Structure 1
Amino acid sequence: MVDWSGGNDRGPTPKKDAIWVCAARDGVTDAPIYLRNRQLAEKWIRAFLAEEVDAGHRVLAGFDFAFGYPDGFGKALTGSDDPFAVWDWFAQRVKDAPDANNRFDLAGEINAMFPGIGPFWGNGRRHDIPHLPRKGSAREGHGLPEKRAAEAQAKGAFPVWQLAGAGAVGSQVIMGLPVLARLRAEFRDALRVWPFEPLDASIAIVEIWPSLIAKAVTATMPEGQIKDAHQVALLAQTLSRLPATQLAAMLDIPYTAEGSILGLGHVSLLEETAMAPAAPRPLKNDCFAMPQGAHWTPVDDALEHLRSQLRPVTGIENLPIAQVAGRFLAGDVEAARAHPPAPNAAVDGYGFAGPAAEGMQRMPLITGRAAAGAPFSGAVPEGRAIRILTGANLPEGVDTVILQEDVTATPSEIAFQGPLKKGANARKAGEDMVAGQTILTSGRRLSPADLGTMAAAGIGSVAVRQCLRVGVLSTGDELQDPGMPADAGQIYDANRPMLSALIKHWDYTLVDLGRAPDDQTKLRAVLDQRAADCDVILSSGGASAGDEDHISTLLEGTGSFALWRIAVKPGRPLALGLWNNTPVFGLPGNPVAAMVCALIFARPALRVLAGGGWTEPQSYQLPAAFSKSKKAGRREYLRARITDGEVEIFTSEGSGRISGLSWATGLVALNDPAQNIKPGDPVTYIPFYSFEP
């Protein structure tokens, strides 16, 4: 989506009433891009379309200016009712440079072709222009309708005749149609224009009006965001979310030489789509089905299966960058401006045109100085210097800075010992980031440093995944809440507080599902009532194939059940399935096995479901401080900690000894083959802090 401008170059700093472009795919937007003039915008759009066509993609490209004029204008101007004849007429006559164009003069020349006064008005120049009145009320007798049918239907839309003043769109049309004419010529075989042509090619060019979704723009715009940037991002996101049938209905209108605005008659649908959280696609019903094969599944095979089958289940929202720490990016982020935006000084000192020769150098000082936020507006003559402070833009004529500590200065001159190479102590524009550069990629978990990077690149808000809601459920008649009286046949529920704390540590939203007894009817009721509150559920207990393993039994009835017998110690059974499209991970009831399986299997799976990429925990090779003989056939994880640079393991490998988790600072992973470990042998140690989200 493109928010166009009929004015001159707007400078390097992103501004309103400028050109803004934003692309979206499947409801995920890239960062809006600021383009300071039409020349840069046309170059960017041409390159974008070429890249998408080469990739075999289809593109709906919307421009927010009229593609045609009211009935009768084209015939009078070109002798034809073909709207493309009007495009070509303007393309041949518009003269456009970053700092000047001839739109007002051209409008006056067109007015001279019509009887009376008009139809164009709004002379934005200081001097009078023949045949172009400054006020619309001065027009008369030109014989053309005031509005197209589209403007008459779109409440609040301005007519195409007004060239200057609040709400004027006429200049955008005159300066935009030549660009479309050139794009149409360049992409002749791949581009079609709506509603003038059948949309049977890779690129569909359509007319848009972001104010159709003005309510949604106002309701969702982050504080401090530039409206033009936000509205193209929101409209791009909205249109890319629409099902094909709904978009086709919007495009299905009769041919009209006046052109039309996409979405007229469908405003309610657009507003609802713009305001609604992005709905993720549900997981496939067989996503957990392990391929037929060995009775016991190796750990690496189980992990690879999760990695290949899972995808994000969270929605998407646009938030100010101040609110997105810890969230996962829903799309790539591109720099809105260069950083630094202009060449600047890296130190306090004096600036001049380098290099400086060897030996004593003397330079006269000019009056004034350059400081950060207070640039010097003039030029520095060759052979002279200017006082400059750290972060200040280099004035014209300056490319080198010498440290103030290396200078002897008087009010009128500086002296220093050379040589000094050209460009010393000066930063180049964009040496860190350039506008349009991808600076962060989709799926990244945003850190405080990332927020600083985005802020420096002019990014005010980004599309992120909504926070993953993780339900934690314990099952078993034998369980009692900690702190409550318990008889000899009961044990305290250690899993739920342990797993709940783990979920909160991973920065997901905890949904405490409580405890459920060994009763299928009651357990079913809990799942039915609470599954909609969760994006994923972690249950513990009842995940094997015994009489009281009700999680497995219930999941088996969904048609999505998979009981994974994993060759791992501690652990083995994992029950997986979907309950009303919500994925359920049935962890072992033993606390040590539950924790290990949560770290090894649930942690990377939850990250993917939350919208992040699959990650492996960081491990280290360290010498063993223990002896162990391990049988072949399964992966073993031992509770361990480091003492004097060596890895020792907990005295008991019993999976019921939960205190070993508090004693340990990590795990030792012993691979599937048989091993005979002696003190000093290298072993793989995974610290608990490596199991981050």
Structure 2
Amino acid sequence: MVDWSGGNDRGAKPVKDAIWACLATKGIAEAPVYLRNRQLAEDWIIQTLSRLQAEGRRVLVGFDLCFAYPTGFATQLIGSEDTLALWDWFAARVTDTPDSNNRFDLAGEINAQFPGVGPFWFNGLKRDIDHLPRKGNARRDHGLPEKRAADIAVPGSFSPWQLAGAGAVGGQVIMGLPMLARLRQRFAGTLRVWPFEAPDAQIVLAETYFSTLRELVAADPHPIRDASQVSLYARAFSNMSPDALAVLMDIPATPEGWVLGAGKADALRAALAPTPPPLKNDCFAMPQGAHWTPVDEALAHLQSHLHCVTGTDDIAVGDAAGRVLARDATAQRAHPPAPNSAVDGYGFAGPAPEGLNSLPLVIGRSAAGAPFEGTVPKGQAIRILTGANLPTGVDTVVLQEDVTVDAGVVSFYGPLKKGANARDAGEDMQAGQTVLTKGRKITPADVGMLAAAGIGAVTVRNRLRVGVLSTGDELRDPGDTATDGQIYDANRPMLAALFDQAGYDVIDLGRAPDNRAVLRDMLDTGAARCDVIIASGGASAGDEDHMSALLANTGSFALWRIAMKPGRPLALGVWDGTPVFGLPGNPVAAMVCALIFAHPALRVMAGSTWSEPVRYMLPAGFSKSKKEGRREYLRARITDGKVETFASEGSGRVSGLSWATGLVELSDPAQTIQKGDLVPFLSFKSFDA
């Protein structure tokens, strides 16, 4: 994507309203390229296209540049509405150097060939130019429309007749058409111009308009809008499927051309927020012959078979806490941006020798936000405040508590080494440095760092939509009337609170009766609304285990018998493209399985990294013997530096979860724990889901 310009050379420092370009492949954009003048830009485009051509790539080159004029213009100049021949006409008449060009004079010469006054207007030079009015309202009777049909279809577009001024495109069109003509000649045989030619070549040129997605451009972290625009549109078009791009290009060819993507903003937004591929139906299938699955084997299987299932969004940094970063965040400038003072004091050129140092003070001071603009001569000092830029001639600061000031002279005792109490530019972060990598769950501290690096917006993963469902005729909602044969549903509110605390978008799917048809309808609803469904109950192979029975009919069902206590059965499957985790019905088993298995799995599906809880080795305040063959998780908490366990190991004792602050994990081999032995303690807080 190329944002062209009709102005002169803009200098070495990247600026707005210049030429910017960006290359992207499959939705991933390289850094935007600043091109200071048209000559360098044309060379860069030719070199880039030559390289991509040699690599066998198909290339779409989009220019924010009108490819044609309103109907009738070309006929008056060359005798036909042959737009591509008109390009050659301009190429033969435009003169261009980095510091000057003839666009205003040529526009006057063109106007002279039309009746009345116009159509071009706006003279950007001090001298008058024959036939070129300075104001648009001075034009009359030239006989041409103000805009093309394509311009009318794009809200906010400008007429190609206005040569300069805020938002004007006329000058860049005159200076761009010769470059387009030379590209056609340079890549003859392998280049086509859409929509005047069928887009069936290796290289296709197309006109686009970079202001269609204003809200996304405004949210982009790059400080220069032109750079954001080429990056955003390069990502969007390169990420479109061939079918989606074909739909955009399926328009009849007219001499006026068309703007690629005009009126199709939703298609561009969809390309910028792609939906990841669904999980495969066999993602939960364990190797044949496995009857009892060790915990580590089950975790390894999930880690290797799951992937992110969420799209992306661009949001302001201030709203990003708790969200998962989808693209690496790059510092937009150094932090600090300039050398500055770490303290209130007096700055000078160090070092200061041992003994008394007396330095005359220059008039003025340097404060944060109000730096001293002059130079501090060697042997003199200046008043400086914390965070203020070090003026030229200053590299060392002495604390104000260590000095005396009298009659314009500051005195203090040395020695003081050079650079004392001063911060270097970029000592925290350098411009262009990756400060956070994708997959990180953004913390409040991260928000501060991103803001300090000048990053106004970040690309994050959409919140994972987690549906929570309970099954069983015996369940009643808390607060309802229940008989002795019924129980209150603890799992659904407990699991919903767990996943809400993790930062997911929790969707309460309700409780399903022991009715297969009703459960099927509820799963259909959940699959349409959620990225993943967490169900409890019905996860085994009994008569009323309808969840397992329904998942078995999908061809994706896997019933894992985990070698662990509590929480033996896990029913897993994919329902209409949505993964389903079927947890045990007992509350303790449901919670433990959610922490051990759903916690890391959901992190991956949300776009973050696989994570396991931190294990702290602490002395046991209990004794226990366990058999070989399964892993055990005991509800526990820390008292006086030792780990004590809940009085009962029963998986129905939900009060033990409230009493506990974590779990003791006892590994698979047989073992005997004595008081004082070190045991692994997994704090609930370490499950940073």
TM-score when normalising by structure 1: 0.80
| SS of corresponding position for 1:450 | helix
| SS of corresponding position for 1:210 | coil
Match of 2:573 among 573, 577, 580: 577
Are the counterparts in 2 of residues 74 and 86 from structure 1 also a CA contact under 8 Å? no
- Paired residue for 1:391? 387
- Paired residue for 1:98? none
Taking a change above 3 Å as real, the CA distance of residues 393 and 585 of structure 1, as seen in their structure-2 partners, is same
| SS of corresponding position for 2:264 | helix
The amino acid that maps onto 1:537 is I
Shift of the alpha carbon at 1:575?
0.7
Match of 1:533 among 526, 529, 535: 529
Are the counterparts in 2 of residues 479 and 490 from structure 1 also a CA contact under 8 Å? yes
Match of 1:601 among 597, 605, 609: 597
- Paired residue for 2:639? 643
- Paired residue for 1:288? 284
- Paired residue for 1:235? 233
Shift of the alpha carbon at 1:514?
2.0
Tell me if 1:424 matches 2:420.
Answer: yes
Shift of the alpha carbon at 1:135?
2.1
| 1:459-517 deviation per Cα after TM superposition (whole angstroms, max 9, x unaligned) | 22222222222221111122223333333322222212221221222122222222211
Tell me if 1:403 matches 2:399.
Answer: yes
- Paired residue for 1:554? 550
Are the counterparts in 1 of residues 35 and 41 from structure 2 also a CA contact under 8 Å? no
2: CA distance, partners of 1:413 / 1:274: 63
2: CA distance, partners of 1:632 / 1:88: 88
Match of 2:513 among 513, 517, 529: 517
Shift of the alpha carbon at 1:679?
2.7
Question: 52-61 or 453-462: which moved more?
Answer: 52-61
Are the counterparts in 2 of residues 540 and 588 from structure 1 also a CA contact under 8 Å? yes
Shift of the alpha carbon at 1:59?
7.1
- Paired residue for 1:94? 97
Shift of the alpha carbon at 1:286?
1.9
Match of 2:265 among 266, 270, 285: 270
Structure 2 residues not aligned, in runs of 5+: 79-83
Match of 2:214 among 213, 217, 225: 217
Tell me if 1:332 matches 2:328.
Answer: yes
The amino acid that maps onto 1:554 is L
Tell me if 1:373 matches 2:375.
Answer: no
2: CA distance, partners of 1:464 / 1:656: 39
- Paired residue for 1:64? 64
The amino acid that maps onto 2:560 is W
2: CA distance, partners of 1:343 / 1:86: 51
1: CA distance, partners of 2:372 / 2:178: 38
What does 1:586-665 correspond to in 2, within 5 Å? 586-665=582-661
Question: 474-483 or 53-62: which moved more?
Answer: 53-62
1: CA distance, partners of 2:224 / 2:234: 16
- Paired residue for 2:134? 135
Are the counterparts in 2 of residues 626 and 678 from structure 1 also a CA contact under 8 Å? yes
Shift of the alpha carbon at 1:667?
1.0
| SS of corresponding position for 1:268 | coil
Are the counterparts in 1 of residues 332 and 453 from structure 2 also a CA contact under 8 Å? yes
| SS of corresponding position for 2:548 | helix
Are the counterparts in 2 of residues 571 and 593 from structure 1 also a CA contact under 8 Å? yes
| SS of corresponding position for 2:318 | helix
| SS of corresponding position for 2:682 | strand
Taking a change above 3 Å as real, the CA distance of residues 244 and 473 of structure 1, as seen in their structure-2 partners, is same
Taking a change above 3 Å as real, the CA distance of residues 486 and 147 of structure 1, as seen in their structure-2 partners, is closer
Shift of the alpha carbon at 1:2?
5.5
2: CA distance, partners of 1:247 / 1:238: 10
- Paired residue for 2:296? 300
Are the counterparts in 1 of residues 533 and 579 from structure 2 also a CA contact under 8 Å? yes
- Paired residue for 1:168? 168
Taking a change above 3 Å as real, the CA distance of residues 221 and 93 of structure 1, as seen in their structure-2 partners, is closer
| SS of corresponding position for 1:267 | coil
Match of 1:688 among 679, 684, 687: 684
Shift of the alpha carbon at 1:546?
0.9
1: CA distance, partners of 2:459 / 2:191: 30
The amino acid that maps onto 2:596 is I
Are the counterparts in 1 of residues 22 and 33 from structure 2 also a CA contact under 8 Å? no
Shift of the alpha carbon at 1:526?
2.0
Are the counterparts in 2 of residues 251 and 262 from structure 1 also a CA contact under 8 Å? no
RMSD: 4.8
1: CA distance, partners of 2:650 / 2:439: 38
2: CA distance, partners of 1:670 / 1:87: 79
| 1:496-554 deviation per Cα after TM superposition (whole angstroms, max 9, x unaligned) | 22212212221222222222111112212222234322221111110011111000001
1: CA distance, partners of 2:472 / 2:444: 41
Are the counterparts in 2 of residues 108 and 129 from structure 1 also a CA contact under 8 Å? no
Shift of the alpha carbon at 1:589?
0.7
The amino acid that maps onto 2:668 is D
The amino acid that maps onto 1:164 is A
Shift of the alpha carbon at 1:147?
8.5
- Paired residue for 1:246? 244
The amino acid that maps onto 1:166 is A
Are the counterparts in 1 of residues 153 and 262 from structure 2 also a CA contact under 8 Å? no
TM-score when normalising by structure 2: 0.80
Are the counterparts in 2 of residues 217 and 230 from structure 1 also a CA contact under 8 Å? no
Are the counterparts in 2 of residues 408 and 415 from structure 1 also a CA contact under 8 Å? yes
Question: 457-466 or 355-364: which moved more?
Answer: 355-364
Taking a change above 3 Å as real, the CA distance of residues 155 and 656 of structure 1, as seen in their structure-2 partners, is closer
Match of 2:495 among 496, 499, 514: 499
Report sequence identity in percent: 57
Are the counterparts in 2 of residues 220 and 275 from structure 1 also a CA contact under 8 Å? no
1: CA distance, partners of 2:179 / 2:618: 64
2: CA distance, partners of 1:476 / 1:325: 37
Are the counterparts in 2 of residues 321 and 461 from structure 1 also a CA contact under 8 Å? yes
2: CA distance, partners of 1:330 / 1:575: 30
What does 1:317-356 correspond to in 2, within 5 Å? 317-356=313-352
Are the counterparts in 2 of residues 111 and 131 from structure 1 also a CA contact under 8 Å? no
2: CA distance, partners of 1:229 / 1:483: 57
Shift of the alpha carbon at 1:119?
10
1: CA distance, partners of 2:348 / 2:191: 53
Shift of the alpha carbon at 1:628?
2.6
2: CA distance, partners of 1:134 / 1:355: 64
Are the counterparts in 1 of residues 133 and 139 from structure 2 also a CA contact under 8 Å? no
Shift of the alpha carbon at 1:17?
4.8
Taking a change above 3 Å as real, the CA distance of residues 71 and 679 of structure 1, as seen in their structure-2 partners, is farther
